[in-house]
A and B are shown apart, each in its own frame.
Chain A
Amino acid sequence: MTSTAEAIIPKFDDDESDGGRTLAIICSKGNLDMAYPGLILANAAIGEGVEVHLFFTFWGFDMIIKSRMNDLKFSPSGNTAMHMPVGDVRIPQALAPLPGMQPMATHMLKKQIADLGVPEVPDFLEHIVASGGHLHACRMSADMNHVTLDDLYDGVEDIINASDFIELTAGAQLLFI
């Protein structure tokens, strides 16, 4: 009996079998540390062939306002998981609001992120757009911040209201960050 074993070839499942998976990510936070989860997951999903829509709203608007996006901050205040650079020692919450703590914590976080080869927020958005991801800005947040599309990062496609976004992402999986 001759049996020819079938060649082992990865199944990329990129034909119709993925059913056109779509992921919607709502970015509602403007702190540096909370900007990254949405960007990292969006990037990962796009790299897996998933259609991705990011919706920036409320504090998340700082991620796409040109004059603010380069300068997001990270504060240890209210974050009990903030540790000293080495070991498991937590920074006492009484010290967290002191002058100098926020710039120091921001600087440290930016360095840690850069050391991993992960881009800063504007570069990350550019990479996501180049990869085929879609960026949408929230209408109410735009009105609250008195900004128009011109004030927003160039890769942002449009300013849409909540209903538009819900309609746009019919059937999508959704993440609220």
Chain B
Amino acid sequence: MPVTTIAGHEIHVDDEGFMTEYDEWSEDLGKELAAAIGVEMSDDTWGPIKFLRDDFKAEGGHTPTLRRVSTVGGFDTKKLFEMFPKKPAKKMAYIAGLPKPAGCV
């Protein structure tokens, strides 16, 4: 598994760059990951990211899909597309330090 350094944080990632170790993540790092893909974190953007982290743990290691972030997390789909343009599910997973969602819907 490759190791890469993001703003001084040494992290384990998969071949694409998604983090593979849940516990290597911190909010500081999340901010840097977001910046690396052009997303600026704010109170609004932290909401769904924290939901992803919590839900991943509660569901035994499954990254929630966009649909789940909207129905279970209660975040507005349209807004998610605005905050994390074009590919919200993958971008949120990346910032949250989780694998890409595996589910189709």
Interface set of A (CB-CB < 8 Å, partner B) = 5, 7-12, 14, 40, 43-44, 47-49, 116-119, 124, 127, 130-132
Contacts and interface: CB of A to CB of B under 8 A. Distances in A.
Interface in B61-91: 65-68, 70-71, 76-78, 81, 85-91
Nearest to A4: B5
Give the size range of B's interface with the partner: 20 to 34
Interface stretch (B10-18, B23-31, B47-55): B10-18
B87 A9 contact: no
B87 A49 contact: yes
Given A12-B87, A117-B105, A127 B16 contact: no
Given A40-B105, A44-B104, A48-B87, A8 B67 contact: no
A49 B73 CA distance: 22
B17 A8 contact: yes
B38 to A, nearest CB: 9
Contacts, number: 74
Contacts of A49: 85-87
A117 B67 contact: yes
A177 to B, nearest CB: 16
B105 A14 contact: no
20 contacts: A7-B4, A8-B15, A8-B17, A9-B36, A10-B18, A12-B37, A12-B86, A12-B91, A40-B104, A43-B104, A47-B88, A47-B90, A48-B87, A117-B68, A117-B103, A118-B104, A130-B76, A131-B66, A131-B77, A131-B78
A171 B15 CA distance: 33
A49 B65 CA distance: 15
A174 B76 CA distance: 29
A5 to B, nearest CB: 7
Contacts of A124: 105
Contact of B86 (A7, A14, A44, A127): A14
A70 B17 CA distance: 42
